[in-house]
Amino acid sequence: MTAPRISIVTPCLNRAATIEDAIASVLAQRHAAFEHIVVDGGSTDGTAAILARYPHLVVVREPDRNLYDALNKGLRRARGDIVALLNSDDVYPPDAFATAETALADPRLELVIGAAEFYAEIDGREVVQRRLVGQGAVGLTEANVIGDITVMNAAFFRRGLLQRLGGFDDRFPLSADKDFWLRLALLAPRHVVLEQVLYRYRSHAGSLTFAAGDLRDKLSRHLLALVQVRLAECPPGSAAHAAYRRWHAWAVGYRALVLGRALRLAELPGLLAAGCRADAFWPARFLARLPGHWLRRNTRGGALRP
């Protein structure tokens, strides 16, 4: 069997309402050599019947620990030189594969990152709600990991790069994508950021991508726990330790803001003291990052408009 050129990995659980659109967007690329791996964690809503209608799919159906465990299963099965990650409720725009493949024709490149579009279906029609374009909005930067959005789905990776990176750390069920992006940034792969939209996120009530904004308390706890684990694991003096220390400062400050807004003031002294025990200079690091964060946020505001 001829090896595929492109591998698409889709984690899936109970997405009967959207999975067919995701599959169709891959087929619409009309690529001659691709594989589409769907890792289904045990759907019970009719998803399995939909997947069975598409014999070209490589379907892995078994329980998983979380989304990132499912992604890792798919990545281990991927055979293409180019690999990308498609959520079961999102779609690729036309010519996404061709655009990424053209860029990766340069053998020096290991990664292509495109623009990302966010849309919703309103009264039977698609409405683009925002668009992230350019290095500042979607680039492989520490700033985008720590204080902004990571759009890993708009990226096309060399499989060798993912093998060097080691996949997702599924100990972090809400934040492994951010950890993945920071570890990727620390590898400093040769890459290019394109202006073309390579991915479309669908906004809907059950979306994990859009639910994060409503789960600030839980997310802030998970992010802080992640950086605490990484700080303990990374060798002091290493570039990784320094990066996670900067992220730790932001995570403590972000958690403090979440608690303050919720008027959970009794929890603040313990949080701030624990932050100082891990890094006595975290307040200075947090405050030093704030101006750049707000500047990027205001700049990003223009890029978000459709």
Give the least confident one: 2-11, 203-212, 280-289: 203-212
pLDDT at residue 213 above 70? no
- Which residues of the chain does CATH 3.90.550.10 include? 6-212
Q: Which of 178, 180, 129 is nearest to 303 (CA)?
A: 129
Q: DSSP string of 146-201?
A: HHS---GGGEEEEHHHHHHHT---TT-TTTHHHHHHHHHHHH---EEEEEEEEEEE
- Cβ-Cβ contacts under 8 Å for 205 (sequence gap 6 or more): none
Q: Give pLDDT, residue 302.
A: 43
Q: How confident is the model at residue 214 (pLDDT cuts 50, 70, 90)?
A: low
Tens digits of residue pLDDT in 252-276: 999 999 999 999 999 999 999 999 9
The mean per-residue pLDDT over the stretch 174-200 comes to 96
How would residue 148 be classed by pLDDT, with cut points 50, 70 and 90?
confident
Selected from 3.90.550.10, 3.90.105.10, 1.20.1440.230, 3.10.690.10, the CATH number assigned to the domain covering 6-212 reads 3.90.550.10
CB atoms inside a 10 Å sphere around CB 92: 25
| 86 phi/psi in degrees, rounded to 5 | -115, 120
- Picking from 249, 240, 242, the residue whose alpha carbon sits closest to that of residue 278 is 249
Integer CA distances (angstroms), 210 to 101, 119, 201, 202, in order: 29, 11, 9, 9
pTM of the complete model: 0.91
Q: How far apart are CA 71 and CA 86, in angstroms?
A: 10
The pLDDT tens digits of the residues spanning 53-112 come to: 999 999 999 999 999 999 999 999 999 999 999 999 999 999 999 999 999 999 999 999
For residue 103 the two structure tokens come to: 């860029």
- Length of the chain in residues, anyone? 306
Residue 276 to residue 286: CA distance in whole angstroms: 12
DSSP single-letter state for residue 234: S
